[in-house]
Amino acid sequence: MNPGGDPASVADPAHDALLAARLFSLAPLSFGAIVLRGVTPARDALVSAIGDALPCRRLPGHVDDERLLGGIDIAASLAAGKPIATTGILAEAAGGVLIVPMAERLDESVAGRLAQALDDCQVALVLLDDSREVEDAPPASLRERAAFQCDLTGSREWGDVAIVAAGDLSMVAGLEDNALKALAGTASALGVASLRPLLFAGEAARAHAVLNQRDVAERGDLEAAAKLVLAPLATQLPPAEPEPPEDQPPPPPDPSDTPSDSEDKDRDQTLEDLMVEAVTASIPADLLAQLVKGNAPKRGGAGSGQKRKSGLRGKPLGARPGMPRGGARLALIDTLRAAVPWQSVRRRESGSDAPIIVRKDDLRVRRFEEKAARVTIFAVDASGSAAAARLAEAKGAVELMLAQAYVTRSEVALIAFRGNTAEMLLPPTRSLTRARRALAELPGGGGTPLAMGLNAAREAADAVAARGRTPSLVVLTDGRANIDADGQPSRKQAGEDAEAAAKAIARAGLDALVVDISARPGREGPELAAAMAARYLALPRADAKALHKAISAVDAAKVTA
């Protein structure tokens, strides 16, 4: 199968995914994991095909450490009067495949366990990623250990597929030096820095050769490997015009002209270029768009942003009856206290002379009050009117807030609106490095799509709240909207839309603060704040430190209120 030449493979991502799944099935433990993104019939067909070919288990949604690793089943042990051990899912699935549904919602602690199991070649994973946004991807620790990442969201295929896992990698010799060089060169051209994908690509090329009943990996195998393993991870586009090394003539551009057994050096160069070409064709279109804008998604960057507090920590609240499962810890003292009054009755009943007889309904579990992490979302008006006035000051204030977030370990997100767009420059993060970069790159100019900015901020806040954290909103604007919610320049419509968006924020009950950054604060700012049920602050005609002080004061007031 020639991935570059087959028009169907370009047309539907399911074809690539099927090939990836076939390679994966040949040596699941060597490839670690395969990520299948998008809820589509093609994915269901693939998963059931993998299930037919390999021993599979499904990971339950809310699995805890005990279920994952095994341990003592307390309820069963109490009933039986002797310790009853349960086998963990990881042990049960050992050597086989574990299917992880809704991998994007996977708890980080579980992901950590699974990553360790992958490192020890204990199991292989099929990660089903149902996320809609790229930011919601499965935990980075697992994505990093997955050889294949297939995006099936655009797939329109329906048919059943079959995977036959026949043969194994040892049937194919190790890759030759020039093949390794070609893969390594392709990886650098695509900006894939990590070494793991590179190693996976080598194995994938061999697996592809096995599929095609060759005992040495050929160019087609390398191309397929580069396309399936390296392309989805690309963080940069290969240089459009590959610069020829000074001492070599540029290789002929037509692949058919190059005999495979020509001079070695020449061939390497060609091979690498061809692979880069094959790969470029399969790089997702939105990546191209983002690359043009100069902010490629930081794969793995979302790691800390998704961190969710587990219900295991925080201030203790006392115990309540319940089973110690799902991560809830047994409150021993309370359990014993609950059991003590019944001891004489139970002893008479059972005739046992055990020192203490505990029953299932005595069990108490701990409860903790967790403090949700705060995420401050900055919506910055970078329009021409604001930019001319005091954008620099606003930037300074945001920078200072970042520095403060660094100390309190809260997270920040940054949305900028200007011209006819509002965009999330920085998804919630604790990384100062990234925040600082996003801010420095923030350009100014264009109209003021205030409604868009407010809507984007509200959506971001909803997403934050959906993950169990507390959003608060800081809108820096001059309040003079002149672009409406559809991106059309119309001052009247824009004003109405902005008011509607502000009221939606008020209805959502978000903590908000409007910082007026106009040169001479008029009535727009206070009106906007009133509609949003937000606090209002005219940016003091002073340095960023003063603004920062004002924001901190608002935060402090919130805490005491």
486-545 positions binding another protein, by CB under 8 A: none
Among residue numbers 115 through 154, which ones bind another protein (CB under 8 A)? 115-116, 119, 121, 140-141, 144
Tell me if 194 contacts another protein by CB under 8 A: yes
Question: Closest separation between CB of residue 168 and another protein, Å?
Answer: 12
Query: Based on CB atoms, which residue is closest to another protein, 115 or 283?
Result: 115
Place of tokens 């093609």: 42
Phi, psi (5° rounding) for residue 30?
A: -75, -30
Exactly one of 79, 164, 195, 556 binds another protein (CB under 8 A); that residue is: 195
Plot region of 435 (φ>0 → left; ψ -120 to 50 → alpha; else → beta) = alpha
Report the C-alpha gap between 282 and 16 in whole angstroms.
9
Q: What is the identity of the amino acid at 272?
A: E
- Contact (Cβ atoms closer than 8 angstroms) between residue 6 and residue 15: yes
Question: Closest separation between CB of residue 349 and another protein, Å?
Answer: 18
Question: Closest separation between CB of residue 518 and another protein, Å?
Answer: 26
Among residue numbers 300 through 329, which ones bind another protein (CB under 8 A)? 300-301, 303-304, 307, 310, 312-313, 327, 329
Exactly one of 26, 33, 74, 514 binds another protein (CB under 8 A); that residue is: 74
Tell me if 347 contacts another protein by CB under 8 A: no
3-state secondary structure of 36: strand
Tell me if 28 contacts another protein by CB under 8 A: no
Report the C-alpha gap between 513 and 136 in whole angstroms.
27
Tell me if 432 contacts another protein by CB under 8 A: yes
Query: Based on CB atoms, which residue is closest to another protein, 124 or 510?
Result: 124
Tell me if 61 contacts another protein by CB under 8 A: no
Among residue numbers 258 through 287, which ones bind another protein (CB under 8 A)? none
Total Cβ atoms within 10 A of residue 148: 25
Among residue numbers 94 through 113, which ones bind another protein (CB under 8 A)? 107-113
Count of residues near another protein by CB under 8 A: 74
Exactly one of 202, 238, 251, 447 binds another protein (CB under 8 A); that residue is: 202
Query: Based on CB atoms, which residue is closest to another protein, 115 or 425?
Result: 115
Place of tokens 């001479």: 520
Tell me if 184 contacts another protein by CB under 8 A: yes
Tell me if 221 contacts another protein by CB under 8 A: no
Report the C-alpha gap between 346 and 417 in whole angstroms.
70
Place of tokens 């099935």: 25
Question: Closest separation between CB of residue 244 and another protein, Å?
Answer: 16
CA torsion sign for 294, 290, 459, 408 is negative
Query: Based on CB atoms, which residue is closest to another protein, 146 or 481?
Result: 146
Tell me if 187 contacts another protein by CB under 8 A: yes
Question: Closest separation between CB of residue 333 and another protein, Å?
Answer: 7
Q: Which residues contact 497 (CB under 8 A, 6 or more apart)?
A: 450, 451, 481, 484, 485
Q: Which residues contact 152 (CB under 8 A, 6 or more apart)?
A: 13, 14, 17, 36, 37, 38, 40, 42, 43, 46
DSSP 129-151: E--SSGGGPSPHHHHHT-SEEEE
Question: Closest separation between CB of residue 20 and another protein, Å?
Answer: 19
Among residue numbers 356 through 395, which ones bind another protein (CB under 8 A)? 356, 358
Report the C-alpha gap between 446 and 355 in whole angstroms.
79
Among residue numbers 400 through 419, which ones bind another protein (CB under 8 A)? 402-403, 406, 409
Phi, psi (5° rounding) for residue 320?
A: -140, 160
Exactly one of 436, 491, 503, 549 binds another protein (CB under 8 A); that residue is: 436
- Contact (Cβ atoms closer than 8 angstroms) between residue 225 and residue 205: yes
